[in-house]
Amino acid sequence: MSDNNSNAAALIALDWGTSSLRAFLLAADGAVLEQRHRPWGISSLPEGGYPAAFLQIAADWPIRDVPLIASGMVGSRAGWKQIEYRALPADPSGLADALDSVLCPLPDGGEIAVRLVPGLLDPAGPDVMRGEETEAIGALDALGHPPGPLLLVMPGTHSKWLRVSGGVVEGFSTFMTGELFALLNTRSILASGAEPAPGTATDTVFAEAVREAAETGLAAALFRTRARMLTGALDPACTAAHLSGLLIGEELTAALRTVPQSHSSSRIVLVGDPALTARYRDAFAALGRKAPEHLQAAALRGLYRIAVSAGLAG
């Protein structure tokens, strides 16, 4: 792109999930001119709902003059407008073709369109995602569009394992690891409430639990946590690390066991929050497997890439 527009606003991108809203003002080449973050996820909107949240976070940005694009739960049933899932296979151009718009009313009586990225449906599961498709596009872009088979692993409340070939998402599976951890660690008989003191050997406990889940299976291993707490074999301060190891161990084992032949020995890339991807790398290592590569969450890059495919930017 030419120098004379490199600092001109060309796109507003919104990463709008369940618990937070991130907004980015981008130049035509994708450079971030300004970014803002508010706790206005779709479950915690300010008064005035979606339009108010958008108009406040984008205050003094040129919202009438540049395209607007958003991804995440904002397109769900409880979102600003429900956008149908797009069935696999999916790549940036497919997602760009499937953008839908919601109209945001303006104080002066006008309206502007916000393009929403659809979630993905894998009919084979069935399985669904909303938001991770955009992160996947961003991750593939960051990786330089590798042509070979690839597993993108996105740990989280609902961990996603995406099978990708030639830049196309061919299938995916979801594991409720983060949600199960939160339920078990706070609301079940395994909740201890104890925090580990500095220096507590939580890493060892975690690695052993990963192996126990792989060897025994989560169902048979879970209540042993309680038995070990009662018999003094597990420090209550290590319960969270133990549960985390059991659940991540189960996820890895199940995901690697059920992955189709096409991806059984493919490159694995972890995408997400560094602390969480580090945990997953530790879990791979505990199972004697090579620790996968890892990337930071890439929603912004994905939003930009889809906008370029849709002719909205670039």
For residues 87 and 23, give the distance between their C-alpha atoms in angstroms, rounded to a whole number.
Answer: 27
Among 20, 200, 216, 296, binds a second copy (CB under 8 A): 216
Indicate the pairing of strand 150-154 with strand 267-271. parallel
Among 91, 133, 170, 251, binds a second copy (CB under 8 A): 251
Q: Which is nearer to a second copy, 36 or 158 (CB)?
A: 158
For residues 196 and 287, give the distance between their C-alpha atoms in angstroms, rounded to a whole number.
Answer: 24
Among 9, 128, 142, 168, binds a second copy (CB under 8 A): 128
In terms of C-beta density within 10 A (0-12 exposed, 13-18 middle, 19 or more buried), how is residue 271 classed? buried
Q: Amino acid identity of 278?
A: A
- The DSSP output letter for 237 is G
Among 2, 4, 258, 261, binds a second copy (CB under 8 A): 258
SS3 242: helix
261 sits near a second copy (criterion: CB under 8 A): no
Residues making up the chain, counted from first to last: 314
Q: One symbol per residue from 160 to 179: x for binding a second copy (CB under 8 A), - otherwise; what is it?
A: -------------xxxx--x
Closest separation in Å from C-beta 247 to a second copy: 9
Q: Measured between alpha carbons, how far is residue 17 from residues 14, 129, 134, 260, 299 in Å?
A: 9, 12, 12, 30, 11
Q: Which of residues 85-104 bind a second copy (CB under 8 A)?
A: 85
231 sits near a second copy (criterion: CB under 8 A): yes
For residues 97 and 75, give the distance between their C-alpha atoms in angstroms, rounded to a whole number.
Answer: 16
Stretch that binds a second copy, among 105-113, 141-149, 197-205, 224-232 (CB under 8 A): 224-232
Q: One symbol per residue from 278 to 307: x for binding a second copy (CB under 8 A), - otherwise; what is it?
A: ------------------------------
In terms of C-beta density within 10 A (0-12 exposed, 13-18 middle, 19 or more buried), how is residue 158 classed? middle
Residues that bind a second copy (CB under 8 A): 77, 85, 121, 125-128, 158, 173-176, 179, 183-184, 187-189, 216-220, 222-224, 226-228, 230-231, 233, 250-251, 254-255, 257-258
